[in-house]
Structure 1
């Protein structure tokens, strides 16, 4: 059984399961056809089938000129930029932001998460993304780019294009990101007036990596917990209490680490901007998971699939919101009703027209005019806390009047109000003057060794727990590596 025959059989299977593994193809042939094929024929047959379905990956780059031109013509107001090497005409980078996303982001909270992920096709690369959050706590992709590597030059180029998208909105955007190479300098240079916050999830891994495993997992977890407590502390007093404990138990190691990160960029109480309670850049991770399959495709198919996926997503959101009967988005409405129920039995005392005291185990002071509570959660999250909701109801007020419009159904509807137009590709005509221009694939070199299919996990990252079918015990082993006595 040759690889060409294998490719003809698995071509239809790849359309439904693009990430199928050669080992699964071997099993499929054995179960369905009773045939034994080698791993090489399964792997090479899959590669031939991918080429048959998606075409030559090198030729995919020649369609980018038409793609950008079609994007700007069919979706007026979109931003699309393609850069190639002047001498060799080799692809360097591409930036895309749909008009529907630009207009829709005006109705999202003014903060963006930045991060990059790998493109896993033949010519590799990195996908940079800026993702916001809609009123129903879902991710909202604003812009993305494909570049050759994740460095300061490419991040600066990405953010410069992003600044053109955000200029007309007139809002001061807060950025949340990991301290990856070149990103801090790029954000500071392109958005000097914006505040940026370091992703707490990545910071905790940075802390964990500074302590060797020989010191014990309990000690490591305790230091990470103390650091998290400092980051979440709502008041300066609570921050000083936790940071004192952290420095005492963490020693010189944590002192050196704290000197490298300004507290204004990782602690709630000292952060000067408004990030609505967000502590991590997991919105971009959601976006990266959403396009997991597309990252395996040639660049044109990747962009085309993403275009279609965004178009379908917007249409589905518009249909869904028509069925909503609440003033707030469903998840936010549920949170509000929970706050009302929580404070039902709390005592409320009035001090003045706007000042109230709520007795909830401790005493909390609420100022309805300034939108503040002594628990500081209203100021941090931009949403009335349980104590504030209780005071508002005691004042016979309407809680909806104290909630920002970003959480309302009307803003959510406006967020997806503009559709993303489809692009027919039956006639692909290059723009005038560029008929003879051909974009070549980037100059890349295959790295040594077998290609990795799974990323290297960070230290301290939780691993999936398996149950061994041989010994019945849970852990990091299975029946193949089990050496337990039974």
Structure 2
């Protein structure tokens, strides 16, 4: 028994060792390029052992642990030094799929350890001694896909999430880190922060460092108020006195205020504090001078209240304008926390919100002027970037003014670059959150490394069938009559209407539904997470027989659920019945990620928003071009990693050549329980019964095994989309910088004005209630079920407008019951 126990223990120890992978982690140094490709100089080195089944989120936790970086202040970007046929390449470890490929490398018998290079990316906004750390937090995409939470893209008041998502195999990287990007835009005084995966970027692309109207006064104003003190303007004087009063926890009232005079006194009776200032005599400027001053306060210093009369929105704006400029998505709650930290006062939410809106106006100009400026910016954009398409529509209300209706824009580099991308476009929408409401529509493609490729944008007043039809028709115009174009969207009724028109019907184009939105609709209807997960698994299966088995399982569990699923055409949501049009891209994560990156920008005036997309895409293209230099292989890292993984799997496959049929092979594999599976590979037709070659456009392990049996290079079966040369051409077109605003062409015609019915009402901004696990618009899918939350129904009578407690039917049933006796027996 002891020998058996010892043997069992040794076997258990050996099995545990087999499940471990060694990682050599390096940080605080610099990634370089050597003769063999990727290398690293300097920094710290630490080896760790991790379990082969570790999740990506757990791997990140380990990296934070060994580096000691603060998760609240830094993001960690993980780069794997991945071996290829001609050296090493940089392989980004940013999702579950890339983590699994890295772990497969670590278990290769010839690889003793995997080299990981760690880079930290700051999340904080510095402002001297009063630096405010903004915590970037948000839902992560569930790596096991049991529950797939949506990136919240609703109102900025309840969201501060990092837009980086864990995308699946077919969707790849989101916005990449651009820490080494450069900007060649002449009019920009200081290059913006190049972190595209983080909402906290500096918008110098649409505003220089200088902010007109922002007051600069000494912080120690309580020591410098005195008779004879000069201020450049009356506003600067008022700001200085407010600063003094707030820091001294005193309040004053205004006795007289005119363009020539300002007279103040302490709010408390009996206090001798007074200040009088007037416009400086014999001066052509607006300089104000303190003529009388009685201080300091003689009253007893009151206790600190929750708020302060002089701590108004204008004063707060002057203190946060730099913060807002550094992070457009900063929330009023973060502004409240900052002011409490600096001044020990708890300002109201509404005051913080108003201050943020004032900061936007100081940085970018007011909203009305921005609408009027839009035609001039469009003219300058089309003049300097030939091939850029902009469609502006407005309705004339007089000879002098025209009300804005909608605008569509697509930059020429995006139009040219999309010709090298797969014909798949994800579309999505999100609400604008500035002074005037509206909807931002986004179309996104995917490049050869499964990175996002922003294609086109539009701003419309309302989201309806007309808006979506117009947007899709403009996309059709810029991509041409491209055969096989596939549109992936959620289940919005208006999108379904727009896609039902003849020009968008198959075979002219193909419409596919986002898997996660469909699963959310299902869960909304049946409230069954287990069946929802089965539905998601069925959608992802690339073989019809596997799809059928899961659907049969759902049928055995719930006939109602099976009937609901049967009402939706399988080719719109199931990969096994897709007919190879969606390239395995199952969700609208691409467009939603762009939405999240632009979350702060959605509060900007309209011209500033359009300009921001120009500069963000310019920087994005520059960074992608720089990445090409690090690709030391024929194909992108995505495909290089996949091929390496599939080559290893192919070693265990058995290949039989069917002599009577040329170029056709039977490939026998073993399942997890050792059971054999047979796949048929037709090299001439470029097909495999597993479906992966047709779906993704690069060879699966079965094709690789068949190729190796006849000494054929399997790389010949990789589509051109994934070649590094194609990737380089995708991002080769340049964005050309615009001249200074003074050189923009004048606008001849009526002045564009904002739609009056879209101005937000006064009062506290109403937060957007996320009425669904995924979407914010309360959308409907194919079928009667709402994706958004409708009126709640009573659980007793199933009618809306009340709950069970107030249900008249329930009360009637209760009154009909015999009354219980409460008397005690004698």
TM-score, with length taken from structure 2:
0.52
Give the alignment partner of residue 171 of structure 1, picking from 483, 489, 493. Answer: 483
Task: State how far apart, in whole Å, the 1-side matches of 2:551 and 2:395 are.
Answer: 50
The residue aligned with 1:128 is 441
The residue aligned with 1:356 is 665
Deviates more, 1:386-395 or 1:404-413: 386-395
Cα separation, partners in 2 of 1:39 and 1:142, compared to 1, 3 Å: closer
The residue aligned with 1:116 is 429
Q: Is the 8 A contact 1:2 1:41 kept in 2?
A: no
Is 1:451 the counterpart of 2:765 in the alignment? yes
Mapping of residues 3-22 of structure 1, within 5 Å: 3=312, 4-22=314-332
Based on CA coordinates, which of the two structures has the bigger radius of gyration? Answer: 2
Cα separation, partners in 2 of 1:154 and 1:22, compared to 1, 3 Å: closer
Cα separation, partners in 2 of 1:288 and 1:346, compared to 1, 3 Å: same
Task: State how far apart, in whole Å, the 2-side matches of 1:197 and 1:14 are.
Answer: 39
Give the alignment partner of residue 241 of structure 1, picking from 526, 549, 556. Answer: 549
CA RMSD between the two structures: 2.2
Task: State how far apart, in whole Å, the 2-side matches of 1:41 and 1:196 are.
Answer: 46
Deviations 1:399-434, CA, capped at 9 Å, x for gaps:
221100001101100001111111123315445xx4
Q: Is the 8 A contact 1:178 1:281 kept in 2?
A: yes
Cα separation, partners in 2 of 1:426 and 1:445, compared to 1, 3 Å: closer
Mapping of residues 68-87 of structure 1, within 5 Å: 68-87=378-397
Task: State how far apart, in whole Å, the 1-side matches of 2:333 and 2:593 are.
Answer: 28
* SS of corresponding position for 2:556: helix
Mapping of residues 182-193 of structure 1, within 5 Å: 182-189=494-501, 190-192=503-505, 193=508
C-alpha deviation, 1:273, in angstroms: 4.7
The residue aligned with 2:531 is 223
Deviations 1:187-231, CA, capped at 9 Å, x for gaps:
23242311111111100011111114xxxxxxx122113323432
* SS of corresponding position for 2:590: helix
Deviates more, 1:239-248 or 1:148-157: 239-248
Decide which structure has greater strand share: 2
Give the alignment partner of residue 29 of structure 1, picking from 339, 345, 350. Answer: 339
Deviates more, 1:237-246 or 1:434-443: 237-246
Task: State how far apart, in whole Å, the 2-side matches of 1:289 and 1:460 are.
Answer: 13
Q: Is the 8 A contact 1:232 1:267 kept in 2?
A: yes
Higher relative contact order, structure no. (Cα contacts within 8 Å, ≥ 6 residues apart): 1
Deviates more, 1:202-211 or 1:180-189: 180-189
Consecutive unaligned residues in structure 1, runs of 5 or more: 213-219, 462-486
Task: State how far apart, in whole Å, the 2-side matches of 1:236 and 1:258 are.
Answer: 15
Deviations 1:459-478, CA, capped at 9 Å, x for gaps:
489xxxxxxxxxxxxxxxxx
The residue aligned with 2:195 is none
Cα separation, partners in 2 of 1:42 and 1:179, compared to 1, 3 Å: closer
Task: State how far apart, in whole Å, the 1-side matches of 2:498 and 2:678 are.
Answer: 44
The residue aligned with 2:358 is 48
Q: Is the 8 A contact 1:113 1:175 kept in 2?
A: yes
C-alpha deviation, 1:38, in angstroms: 4.9
Q: Is the 8 A contact 2:483 2:509 kept in 1?
A: no
Mapping of residues 87-486 of structure 1, within 5 Å: 87=397, 89-167=402-480, 170-189=482-501, 190-192=503-505, 193-212=508-527, 220-259=528-567, 261-352=568-659, 353-361=662-670, 362-431=677-746, 434-443=747-756, 444-446=758-760, 450-453=764-767, 455-456=769-770, 458-459=772-773
C-alpha deviation, 1:131, in angstroms: 0.9
Deviates more, 1:135-144 or 1:179-188: 179-188
Deviates more, 1:307-316 or 1:440-449: 440-449
C-alpha deviation, 1:244, in angstroms: 2.9
Cα separation, partners in 2 of 1:447 and 1:6, compared to 1, 3 Å: closer
Q: For this pair of structures, how many residues does the alignment match?
A: 450
* SS of corresponding position for 1:127: strand
Deviations 1:375-410, CA, capped at 9 Å, x for gaps:
222222222112112222222111221100001101
Cα separation, partners in 2 of 1:322 and 1:182, compared to 1, 3 Å: same
C-alpha deviation, 1:257, in angstroms: 4.7
* SS of corresponding position for 1:182: helix
Task: State how far apart, in whole Å, the 1-side matches of 2:540 and 2:643 are.
Answer: 22
Deviations 1:73-108, CA, capped at 9 Å, x for gaps:
111111111000133611110000111111100100
Cα separation, partners in 2 of 1:256 and 1:46, compared to 1, 3 Å: closer
Task: State how far apart, in whole Å, the 2-side matches of 1:30 and 1:115 are.
Answer: 38
Task: State how far apart, in whole Å, the 2-side matches of 1:161 and 1:170 are.
Answer: 13
C-alpha deviation, 1:281, in angstroms: 1.5
Q: Is the 8 A contact 1:328 1:408 kept in 2?
A: yes
Cα separation, partners in 2 of 1:278 and 1:460, compared to 1, 3 Å: closer
